[in-house]
Structure formats: C-alpha cells, structure tokens
C-alpha cells in the first residue's frame, strides 16, 4: 500500500491563517472583554508582544548585511554598462526615472486619500505603550535627525560604520553601498572578482537567513493582528481596506498611465503593447515571482521585435534594479503607517522616504515578503514604530502579486524605451546570461 505524504501548506496560506485567527480572536476580545481586561493585558504583555518584537528584531538584525550586499550587487550587475555604453546608461537613467515617478505617484495618492488617518490617537498610543522600549528608541532617533542642509550633507557618511549602526543613517549607508558598487564596476574585473564573490556570498547568506526568519511570519502575523484587533476593533478593517485600495490604485495608474505615456513617446501603441505583454503580466501575477516570469518575459520581448541584445540585458538587470512596484509599495506603506500612528511627516522626510524607496527597490531581497526589512527600516528612520508592519502582513501576498505584475511590465517597458533608435552596430557587445530574481 502506497503511503501518501502530505504537502506542506504554502507560506501565503499559513500567513492568511495567522491573519484570520488573530483578527477574529482580537475582534472577539474587543467586543467582549476589551483590551483593558487583566487576562488580555497579561496575554499581550507576556506572549503576543514579545513574539512580535522578536520577529522584528530578527528582521532588523539582518538589515545592514542584506541592504549593503543587495545594493552593491545590484549596481555591480550593471558591469556591462562599460561594454554596452549608451545602452547601459539609458537603462540606468530610465530605471531611476520610472522608479521615481512610481514612488511620487504613490506618495501623492496616500497624501490625497489618507487611508491611515482618523484613528483614535489614544488607541494608537495604547498599542505603542505595549512596545514602550522600542518606541522610546524610535523617538530618540528622530530627535537626533539632521535638518535642512545638514540632512542633505548627512547623505554622504563620514563614518560608514556609524551609519550602519544608526537607523536614521540608512540613506548614508545606501549611498556608500551605491558608491562601492560603482567602484566595483569601474575597477578591472580581475582585481575585484574575489571580493565580488565574497559579497555575493554575504547576499546569499542574508537571503537564506531572511527566508528562515520569514517562516516565523505566520505566528508573528497572528500576534500582530490579535493586538491590533483587540485595541482598534472594526476600525482596523476599514483602514486596512483603504490601504489596499490606495496601493492597487497607485499600481494601476502607474502601469496603465505612466507606462502608456512612456511607450507612446517611442511611437508604440499602448493598447498593442499591453496586449503583447499580457502573457508575462499574467504569469507575474499568478506566481508573484520575477524569477518564474523571466523566461516568459524574454520570449515576449522577442515576439515584440525588440533587439535580443537589448532585451536580454535590460530584462536581466531590470529584474533586480527596476522594481517600480516594490518601490511604490514601500513608499505608500510607510506613509500609511505614519498616518495610522499619528506621525506627521514633513515634505523633507517624505522626500527622504522617496529616495530610500528608489534605492531600496534596486536590491530588495528575493524572498517572500522581502521588502519587509526595507519598510521596517524606513519606518524607524522617520519615527514610525516598526511594529506597525503587522498591519499589512496579512494582505502582503496579494499586494506582492500586484506589484510583481508592475515590476515585470516595467521591465518590458524599460526594454522598449532603451531599444528605441538603437542600431545593430550599437549592440555588438555580448549580453549577460539571464539571471534570476524573485519579485
């Protein structure tokens, strides 16, 4: 008799179960005992709050090696910029522009609709009291944040080790990582090959450890949602629904608005363009992985008549560096959490969020919920308690499917823009082998 083995549940299902159980039990507590009941206070103090903080601490522990290695490798993978000349620089320029437009659009919509605004400040403060130690750290880091011209100058670190140890100096760390990657690109390969393999090793180790940490996410989701639902009740559902609506609206406007204008600028019909890429878009949505979609995207680019030298380079590099959807998602999420917890961000702080999201999109970890470290770190940078990421964990997989669709569509848009007016003579350099990079 053949014994059948039970297949483990996919991680999104486990996270959905944790989200649902935490939400339902938290709502029952809110409607019956209330968050002030003695047993509820004991349960949140000794079980759910420590468990959620442990999850966040594990995420923060891996942020510096992950972001540094991911950004350096993201820039270093553009080493073919020297060989491809104009093609490489056009790819880099369009990547920055498209990512910048995506984040700006997201910030405008979240400021216009304010999905996180209107929460009772006393309830939000009650949640922060449960995490008083972490909240004090956040407030202290905000009090020491530079202002005005000092903020601009602080982007260039005088001490990169100090920048790596301070949440508020993450932009300085990112600047150093970008410059380090540029230095690797400009240095002869024979002299940096060993170092590059070492940084690749750090990146792979960081992603492996993040993957292990993410296995704890279903339990963390339960703890987050129980605490939140017990305190905020049904108001939490309204805020969460509004947040998902704003993210999806921003992704849709960028995809069908910005990308349509972009391909129209190079003489292509937007309707025909989206008809041509629909197979890759559906694959991206169903798998939530650029890795699984890359072969399809390469074939679609060939069917669209794009020069193979351009499409292979742009789609391979873009799978890592041109993550418009991820950058947009991170920006909207940070501002939503700021509104939820009553943190008023200045225009300068929002501009800094925009810069970090653009840079963070270059090297977001290729694992499920890989943008969580960047979101948590940006929250800490602008004075929002990272405990708030528990709000979005339960809906993250659906949003991951949506933003991966935008990422892959953006890669094909980028390839279309770069291929415009390029001749065969300009594409004589060898193209890189297609790599892998989950969305």
**How far is Cα 178 from Cα 171, in angstroms, rounded to an integer?**
10
This prediction has a pTM of: 0.76
The pLDDT value recorded for residue 271 is: 95
Q: Strand, helix or coil at 156?
A: coil
In contact, 87 and 427? CB cutoff 8 Å: yes
For the stretch 310-367, pLDDT in tens is: 887 788 777 666 788 888 999 999 999 999 888 888 888 888 888 888 877 665 544 4
And the tokens for 371?
């943008």
Cβ within 8 Å of residue 293, ≥6 positions away? 280, 283, 284, 287, 404, 408, 439
pLDDT average, residue stretch 12-20 = 83
Q: What is the mean pLDDT of residues 292-303?
A: 84
Tokens 């890429």 belong to which residue? Answer: 277
* Residue 432, burial from CB neighbour count under 10 angstroms (0-12, 13-18, 19+): middle
Q: Which option is the CATH number for 11-427: 1.10.3860, 3.30.70, 2.60.40, 3.30.420?
A: 1.10.3860
**Closest by alpha carbon to 369, among 225, 221, 245?**
221
**Cβ proximity of 123 and 143 under 8 Å:** no
Of residues 386 and 277, more confidently modeled: 277
Q: Greatest CA span in the chain, whole angstroms? A: 75
Q: Say if CB 22 and CB 223 are below 8 A apart.
A: yes
pLDDT classification of 138: cutoffs 50, 70, 90:
very low
Rounded to an integer, the average pLDDT of 418-425 is 68
Three-class SS state of 435: coil
């Amino acid at each position: 008799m053949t014994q059948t083995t039970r297949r483990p549940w996919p991680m999104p299902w486990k996270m959905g179960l944790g989200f649902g159980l935490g939400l339902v039990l938290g709502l029952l507590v809110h409607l019956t005992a209330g968050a002030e009941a003695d047993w509820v206070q004991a349960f949140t103090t000794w079980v759910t709050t420590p468990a959620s903080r442990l999850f966040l601490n594990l995420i923060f522990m891996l942020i510096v090696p992950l972001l540094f290695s991911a950004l350096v490798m993201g820039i270093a993978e553009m080493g073919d910029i020297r060989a491809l000349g104009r093609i490489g620089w056009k790819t880099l320029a369009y990547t920055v522009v498209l990512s910048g437009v995506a984040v700006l659009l997201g910030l405008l919509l979240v400021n216009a609709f304010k999905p996180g605004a209107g929460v009772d400040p006393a309830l939000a403060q009650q949640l922060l009291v449960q995490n008083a130690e972490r909240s004090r750290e956040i407030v202290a880091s905000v009090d020491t944040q530079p202002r005005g011209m000092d903020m601009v100058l602080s982007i260039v670190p005088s001490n990169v080790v100090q920048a790596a140890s301070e949440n508020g100096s993450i932009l300085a760390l990112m600047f150093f990582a970008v410059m380090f990657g540029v230095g690797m690109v400009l240095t002869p390969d024979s002299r940096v090959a060993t170092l590059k393999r070492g940084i690749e090793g750090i990146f792979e180790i960081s992603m492996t450890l993040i993957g292990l940490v993410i296995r704890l996410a279903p339990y963390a989701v339960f703890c987050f949602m129980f605490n939140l639902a017990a305190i905020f009740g049904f108001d939490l559902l309204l805020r969460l629904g509004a947040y998902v609506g704003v993210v999806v609206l921003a992704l849709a406007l960028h995809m069908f608005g910005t990308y349509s204008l972009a391909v129209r600028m190079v003489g292509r019909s937007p309707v025909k363009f989206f008809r041509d890429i629909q197979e890759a878009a559906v694959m991206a949505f169903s798998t939530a992985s650029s890795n699984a979609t890359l072969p399809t995207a390469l074939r679609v680019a060939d069917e669209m008549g794009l020069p193979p030298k351009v499409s292979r380079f742009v789609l391979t590099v873009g799978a890592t560096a041109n993550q418009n959807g991820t950058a947009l998602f991170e920006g909207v999420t940070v501002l939503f959490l700021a509104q939820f917890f009553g943190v008023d961000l200045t225009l300068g702080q929002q501009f800094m969020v925009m810069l970090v999201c653009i840079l963070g999109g270059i090297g977001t970890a290729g694992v499920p919920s890989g943008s969580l470290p960047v979101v948590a770190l940006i929250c800490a940078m602008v004075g929002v308690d990272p405990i708030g990421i528990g709000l979005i964990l339960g809906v993250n997989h659906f949003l991951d499917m949506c933003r991966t669709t935008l990422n892959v569509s953006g890669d094909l848009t980028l390839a279309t823009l770069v291929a415009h007016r390029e001749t065969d003579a300009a594409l004589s350099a060898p193209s890189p082998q297609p790599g892998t990079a989950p969305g």
